[in-house]
Chains A and B, each alone.
Chain A
């Protein structure tokens, strides 16, 4: 009896485990069967390299959107990574124990705020601020980058902090014993030792930033043209889909799904990079 129950449970566990695998496979199947024919129909070069997105005249070039995604992601990384890593260093080494749990609580809370709320914040605070300070419209690469930088902070902070705290204490002590200050020991010995974990946090942050949609759509301006300055409006791959999916039909609809394929490939590459970095960290 017990044996029967055990094998039944094993099958249940197997099925539940298969569920997530199946979901991913279904998503892939749906994306590629709908997206790839569209890419073939438009022509891969015209699709990926075309700079004109005019669905009404059957022109589907997503190059401005690929560039847009890269621009806002780069901006978010440039602004968010230094702040995130320094915050992680602070929490791991310099934070007074009394306030450590409070700081950790706030950073984890940051991760839980819905992106639409960040979008509201961007729209009502960041955009007018940029407008005031620089005398430009406000919606554009800069606003989206700043907002994304804030949104990827919790990812970078928590993973970098884990990596820093996983570094053997003996490295830190060894540096201290050589007469190095605490700052020098942390930045020149512990931080380099945590390198792959910190890089992994950055890669995951890139993944978050490139896939973010709702917050970006509210502050980016969304013009489907190649931007010429950080104040120009920009449309990313994700916002391209969310803006037009509601009414698109036929090839237009398929072209949007194909945009999803390109995004998916980006995310896949980023995740592969992430797991490579993680396994490297474990080897060390």
Chain B
């Protein structure tokens, strides 16, 4: 499976089909799970991420946004500078610049510019998720992994996140796991359908939704199971 530069790839499939596990393999978050086992390989720029990368450097290049918004219980500003500080940015003006740029890209800056030092947990769910996106892009990753980023949000917040994601596509390669097929259809360039832990079909999104080759894919897309 080839993920292309500056494209949005959607991973869809019924619950338990392994799409989130695959996503978490790409930035090695699965390393945290006891007894986790990997076969095969994942390459970034042709290099195996489990062999040729320091795991923290890998996670700097491959950022992640989780299903449930998880801002840290600190101020909005501190949430965003945590990543850059981790990777050695110290100068105050540089950090300020990163905060502004990241929040702008996550379409949150205008909403929070007057309360940067207020607790992040006071934001609404949708705003928290956009803050998490801002936090992820503050370390300037190349790839963004989004693990069902809108499943905990209402439709309006979902729409805003989708707009933000489409905007982010200009700069980042995005892989999104979603349960919402309409979402995959709306924003992704390519879609991968998973079933029972196997990649069943992977093609341009239009093709997957209009002329799926596989029978199971067709049935899933028509809502016959899931």
Which residues does A use to contact B, with CB under 8 Å? Answer: 168, 170-171, 173-181, 184, 188-189, 192-193, 284
Contact = CB atoms under 8 A, between A and B. Distances in A.
A277 B83 CA distance: 30
Interface stretch (B43-51, B52-60, B175-183): B52-60
B209 interface: no
Interface in B61-105: 63-64, 66, 68, 70-74, 82-83, 86-87
A188 B72 CA distance: 10
Contacts of A179: 56-60, 83, 86-87, 139
Interface residues on B, range: 20 to 34
B139 A178 contact: yes
Contacts of A184: 86
21 contacts: A168-B70, A170-B68, A170-B70, A173-B66, A173-B70, A174-B66, A174-B71, A178-B59, A178-B82, A178-B83, A178-B86, A178-B136, A179-B57, A179-B60, A180-B83, A180-B86, A184-B86, A188-B82, A189-B72, A193-B73, A284-B73
Contacts of A168: 70
A184 B59 CA distance: 14
B72 A175 contact: yes
A186 to B, nearest CB: 13
B66 to A, nearest CB: 6
B82 A180 contact: yes
B190 interface: no
Interface of B: 27, 29, 32, 56-60, 63-64, 66, 68, 70-74, 82-83, 86-87, 132, 135-136, 139
Contacts, number: 62
Contacts of A181: 56, 86
3 interchain residue pairs of minimum CB distance: A170-B70, A179-B59, A179-B60
A102 B82 CA distance: 35
B73 A192 contact: yes
Contacts of B68: 170
B226 to A, nearest CB: 26
Nearest to B61: A179
Contact of B32 (A176, A188, A284): A176
Contact of B132 (A174, A193, A284): A174
Which of A168, A174, A176 has the most chain B CB atoms inside 10 A of its CB?
A174
B36 to A, nearest CB: 14
B29 A170 contact: no
A176 B29 contact: yes
Contacts of B71: 174
A25 to B, nearest CB: 40
Nearest to A188: B82
B141 to A, nearest CB: 9
Contacts of B135: 174, 178
Nearest to A194: B73
A35 to B, nearest CB: 44
Given A171-B72, A189-B72, A176 B59 contact: yes
Contacts of B73: 171, 192-193, 284
Given A170-B66, A181-B56, A175 B27 contact: no
A189 B82 contact: yes
Contact of B56 (A180, A192, A193, A284): A180
Given A175-B82, A192-B74, 19 more contacts: A168-B70, A171-B70, A171-B72, A173-B32, A173-B70, A174-B71, A176-B29, A176-B32, A177-B59, A177-B64, A178-B63, A178-B82, A178-B139, A179-B56, A179-B57, A181-B56, A189-B72, A193-B73, A284-B73
Nearest to B86: A180
A18 to B, nearest CB: 40
B65 to A, nearest CB: 8
A238 B109 CA distance: 58
Contacts of B58: 179
B72 A174 contact: yes
Contacts of B27: 177
A178 B59 CA distance: 6
Given A178-B59, A192-B74, A173 B86 contact: no
Contacts of B132: 174
A192 B82 CA distance: 13
Contacts of A173: 29, 32, 66, 70
A10 B27 CA distance: 59
A174 B69 CA distance: 10
Contacts of B82: 175, 178, 180, 188-189
